[in-house]
């Protein structure tokens, strides 16, 4: 009897920006014939399974969703304003439940969809789920490969959190006289990264228990057998080389959306494989079809960030005053507190020919549209990489976790956009939009075109990401083979 195909358990952090790249990797592995048990929290599971039948993943009998409780009550908002609660509950309830789930998978073969599910051979776990996965690895001898869904650069910064504390670089207080002082204790970033650009968890305003959570996760993460990153060699080569000082195996397999498309003969990726937990409003595509080429500024602050009504109004007036057509994603839960109540009606409805507002957009399709000439973004890593991949320059307004690092890379390392962190008054917004859309900075134009070409090259046959995903697949098969050998002895 032939040896079974590898069965991999995948464990994302329960947020869209983390689930999205995990699901894309799951689909790539399914194409390789792997079986995937994708473990969400119960809360996320209840949201995402409604759309799975519309997803490319539904075609794979070797893919299934499993779930564990996150320990929070159903009515908990689970947004960025209450993220501490989720971190705490994941470390307690989630840890116990995940261990019990893995034990149950190891003890028996499952019969599902008339298919045999053999015991898993390894776990691919989000880097900030390391306290769940690494303890299971050490107790049950289940190999763990960590998938850090941030950039290589931000991952490298997180590995220096203890050193930043030792050298009193953090915590950083808004308004400090030396907030723009360069941080010189992080190799390769000595001449680029300022204290202002450090992750938001390094700010005085953030609960110190959140910094402690990330310190614990990063420490545990070092013990994984390998590191997966959704990036590509030509974008972050110097930092990737540094990460090899921690991991003997670093798999840079991005941009995952381009890698997946290349393996599917450029057919569109849709449904749950995009990781979207929200209903997309596709009417915006028809609106974009009517706009001139490169004329529209696309505005989206991601799936987690919350803003005050005053901040939204400043952006609104800045966009209107810029005179540029804009497509703006305003989620129902974007406004801090009681939702969009109190915002002017014109913001919550499609405006005139110059502006269009939706609650959620098919972002990859929007960014690839010929009418889009710029992206005003929160600088989440998925959004940043999607924009780089299609050559759309960015205006960065970062707020939380890795976003501040990403925005600095965009403006001062890769030169594919401009950084607007820590400011959002209407005059600044108007000026930045005009600079990006009118001035057409030659260096930014050249860099966006260069990195878009390199991103596409990386996922084609012979490219770095193409080779690395094959190496990852081979290494997981090797883990499975060793497991099978042990069974026969």
Is 31 catalytic? The answer is no
Sheet holding 250-252, edge to edge: 63-68, 35-41, 7-11, 122-126, 144-148, 226-229, 250-252
Residue found under tokens 């026969």 = 488
Residue found under tokens 């959704």 = 230
Q: Strand locations in 235-295, DSSP E?
A: 250-252
**Can you tell me whether residue 173 is helix, strand or coil?**
coil
Rounded CA gap, 157 and 193, in Å?
Answer: 10
Peptide bond into 255 cis (omega under 30): yes
Alpha carbon dihedral 186, 445, 463, 153, in 10-degree steps, equals 20
Take residue 435 and report the two structure tokens written for it: 């600079």
Peptide bond into 70 cis (omega under 30): no
Query: For residue 66, how far is the Cα from the chain centroid?
Result: 21
In angstroms, the Cα distances linking 250 to 233, 257, 316 are: 11, 19, 42
Half-sphere exposure of 216 (CA within 13 A, CB side): 15
Alpha carbon dihedral 441, 443, 448, 449, in 10-degree steps, equals 110
**Dihedral-angle region of residue 86 (phi above 0 means left; psi in -120 to 50 means alpha; beta otherwise):** alpha
Catalytic residue among 18, 118, 160, 378: 18
Residue found under tokens 């310190």 = 215
Catalytic residue among 70, 126, 197, 402: 126
**CA angle at 45 for the pair 215 and 131, rounded to the nearest 5°:** 20
Is 333 catalytic? The answer is no
**Can you tell me whether residue 65 is helix, strand or coil?**
strand
- Please report which helix (H) or strand (E) contains residue 279, including its range: none
User: By the 8 A CB rule, do 296 and 370 touch?
Assistant: no
Residue found under tokens 């110059």 = 354
Take residue 108 and report the two structure tokens written for it: 């028996």
User: By the 8 A CB rule, do 258 and 455 touch?
Assistant: yes
Catalytic residues: 18, 126
């Amino acid at each position: 009897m032939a040896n079974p195909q590898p069965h991999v358990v995948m464990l994302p952090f329960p947020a869209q920006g983390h689930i999205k790249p995990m699901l894309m990797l799951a689909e790539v592995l399914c194409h390789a014939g792997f079986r995937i048990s994708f473990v969400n929290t119960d809360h996320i599971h209840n949201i995402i399974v409604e759309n799975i039948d519309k997803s490319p993943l539904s075609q794979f009998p070797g893919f299934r969703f499993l779930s564990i409780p996150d320990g929070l009550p159903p009515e908990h908002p689970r947004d960025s304003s209450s993220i501490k609660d989720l971190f705490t509950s994941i470390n307690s309830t989630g840890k116990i439940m995940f261990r019990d789930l893995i034990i149950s998978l190891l003890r028996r073969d499952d019969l599902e969809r008339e298919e045999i599910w053999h015991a898993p051979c390894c776990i691919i776990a989000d880097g900030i789920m390391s306290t769940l996965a690494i303890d299971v690895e050490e107790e049950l001898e289940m190999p763990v490969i960590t998938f850090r869904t941030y950039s290589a650069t931000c991952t490298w910064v997180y590995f220096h959190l203890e050193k930043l504390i030792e050298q009193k670089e953090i915590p950083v207080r808004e308004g400090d006289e030396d907030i723009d002082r360069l941080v010189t204790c992080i190799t390769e970033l000595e001449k680029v990264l300022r204290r202002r650009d450090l992750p938001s968890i390094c700010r005085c305003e953030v609960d110190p228990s959140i910094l402690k959570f990330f310190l614990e996760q990063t420490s545990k993460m070092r013990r994984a057998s390998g590191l997966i990153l959704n990036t590509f060699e030509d974008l972050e080569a110097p930092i990737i080389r540094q990460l090899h000082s921690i991991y003997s195996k670093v798999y840079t397999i991005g941009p995952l959306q381009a890698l997946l498309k290349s393996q599917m003969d450029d057919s569109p990726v849709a449904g749950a494989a995009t990781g979207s937990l929200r209903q997309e409003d596709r009417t915006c595509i028809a609106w974009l079809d009517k706009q001139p080429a490169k004329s529209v500024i696309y505005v989206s602050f991601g799936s987690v960030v919350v803003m005050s009504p005053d901040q939204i109004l400043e952006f609104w007036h800045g966009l209107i005053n810029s005179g540029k057509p804009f497509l703006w994603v305003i989620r129902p839960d974007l406004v801090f507190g009681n939702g969009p109540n109190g915002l002017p009606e014109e913001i919550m409805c499609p405006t005139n020919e110059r502006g269009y507002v939706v609650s959620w957009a098919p972002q990859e399709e929007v960014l690839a549209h010929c009418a889009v000439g710029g992206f005003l973004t929160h600088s989440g890593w998925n959004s940043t990489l999607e924009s780089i991949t299609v050559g759309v320059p960015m205006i960065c307004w970062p707020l939380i976790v890795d976003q501040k690092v990403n925005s600095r890379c965009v403006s001062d390392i890769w030169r594919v956009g401009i950084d607007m962190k820590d400011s959002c008054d209407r005059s600044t917004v108007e000026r930045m939009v005009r600079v990006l859309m009118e001035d057409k900075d030659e260096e930014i134009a050249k860099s966006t075109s260069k990195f878009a070409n390199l991103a596409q090259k990386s996922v084609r046959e012979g490219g770095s990401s193409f080779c690395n995903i094959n190496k990852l697949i081979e290494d997981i098969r090797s883990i499975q083979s060793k497991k099978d050998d042990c069974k026969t002895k």
